[in-house]
Amino acid sequence: MTRSVQAVAYRRPSVLESSAGGQRLGLETSQGATPSGTVDHPRFFAGFLTSPQKASAALLAVADVAAARYYQPQLRASLDPVVTGNGDRLRFESFSGCGGVYARLDVLEAGLDGGEVGHGTTNVDVNDPLREALSRIGADDPLHLRVGPEELAVTTLDGPVVEKKVPLPDRWLRGFAEAQVIAAGFDLRAELDAAEAVRFLRSLPGGSKSTAAAPRWVVPSGRTLRPTTRAVPGAVCLPGPERLIALRRALRHATSLRVYGPHTTQGSAATASAWELVLPGMRLTLTVSPDASRGFSGEGGVLDALATDEAADDAELVSVLLAWEPRIDIADLATASGLSAERVRAALVRLGTSGRVGYDTAEAAYFHRELPYDAKRVERHNPRLRSAQALVSAGAVALDGPVGTVTAEDGHAHRVREADGVLTCSCLWWAKYRGGRGPCKHALAVRMARRGAAARKTATGTEENA
């Protein structure tokens, strides 16, 4: 497994301090991306939280996920959350060390008071003493929030005084990207009021590992969710239900629980799902992978977008037009770029692989952010993509109408067929996953070869007509 070491440096530790006007929460930032370029310690907000106790509980939930491994919990995870200023809101994101749970807290305009929200993305320090202090905030305590250094601190402190070095596996970065792509295929499936949300979430197991051998499913039933042993139309998968335990931090403050998932039919395989607590002026969302032992990195949702040179060029164009929007309008991007809506969507998927966009299920829209990691290597180090590219380069793909034949390294020939835009393969990978984890390397190679053949045909036609 390829990994690097990520150095995260802060001016000082984040801290909760008492003052004459109440409590002051200072969240320290690391190096981050902003509209004016890379800044060592950007400042995104200085003002008040309208619901301090609720916001503190939700922020702790995001920190819980950043520090957790829900699979093989004996291994440590210590990645700091990411904060993005989108002009009208602050987003705090984290990803579990096991790569199977994505958390995001959206502090919306109604949750902030008295300060402008900047634009950019960086890491934010959430240390153990701060966590303890946040857990003691009372309901009536005024709370001033500062995201970024004090103005004087920038000029009086010489260099960082807090530095963390953490391993950053490629699969963690790929998972962060895959979670956004998968969530883009979700729709709202159920909404529970506060009382039903409490009842349902508190009924779930809270141990380190679920005792259920098969994936759990729930289906909307009146005002609540009813468990079912198998997938039925309208059902939502809840694999590893103990992974939702972080939501309990803010559960007593919730006004409702919204549940998102893909379209399911009778007997559907396990899927990912998203669980959103609605809080006053905020939303706290956990997205869980299809299995507690299966992170998002192997889902393959981004492979088709990575396999086309057209999407690479489109992504470069679209990236120039992004402006830290809290909600990316695909129609506006299509007009501004001159691309079709379909090509803009493919470009956004590709940008997601480098951490440059996220997806908000509540608003069914992408948003602009720049992960503060070397996420470009996600594409370079994707094993299926590399294998497919090697097969095409080696001339191992033969096309014959709707059928493609791929001769593998061991000499075995695999048949790839296309029907209604869906590729199937005779290999063991396809037999095992049936497309549930993206295309296999043979199907991906056939798709790349066909696109290359179409491009050559178009180029030849252009030359003949010149």
pLDDT tens-digit profile of 180-205?
888 988 999 999 999 999 999 999 88
CA 53 to chain centre: 26
pLDDT of residue 440: 86
- For 324, phi then psi, to 5°, come to 60, 35
- Annotate 197-219 with three-state secondary structure: HHHHHHCCCCCCCCCCCCCEEEE
Do 180-298 and 303-378 show the same overall fold? no
pLDDT of residue 351: 85
Contact 406, 446 (CB under 8 A): yes
User: Which fold is adopted by the domain 303-378?
Assistant: Arc Repressor Mutant, subunit A (1.10.10)
Count CB atoms within 10 A of the CB of residue 214. 9
What ranges make up the beta strands (E) of 236-281? 236-238, 256-261, 273-279
Sign, CA dihedral 347-350-356-360, equals positive
- Closest to 212 in 3D by CA, of 102, 293, 111, 141: 293
What dotted CATH number matches 180-298? 3.10.150
Tokens 């619901």 label which residue?
Answer: 51
Q: What stretches in the chain show pLDDT beneath 70?
A: 1-4, 73-78, 151-161, 207-214, 297-309, 374-382, 435-436, 455, 458-466
pLDDT of residue 312: 75
CA 135 to chain centre: 26
| Measured distance CA(106)–CA(276) in Å, rounded | 11
Burial string for 293-320 (b: 16+ CB within 10 Å, else e) reads ebbbbbbbbbbbbbbbeebeebbebbbe
pLDDT of residue 466: 46
pLDDT of residue 45: 95
Total count of residues recorded for the chain: 466
- Closest to 102 in 3D by CA, of 27, 44, 189, 174: 174
Threshold 0.95, pTM exceeds: no
Domain assignments of the chain as residue spans, ordered by start: 7-167, 180-298, 303-378, 383-465
pLDDT of residue 335: 94
pLDDT of residue 379: 56
pLDDT of residue 76: 61
| Measured distance CA(284)–CA(428) in Å, rounded | 39
Contact 129, 205 (CB under 8 A): no
State the DSSP code for 436: B
pLDDT of residue 307: 63
- Extract the tokens encoding 211: 């005792």
Please give the single-letter amino acid code of residue 243: R
| Measured distance CA(381)–CA(374) in Å, rounded | 12
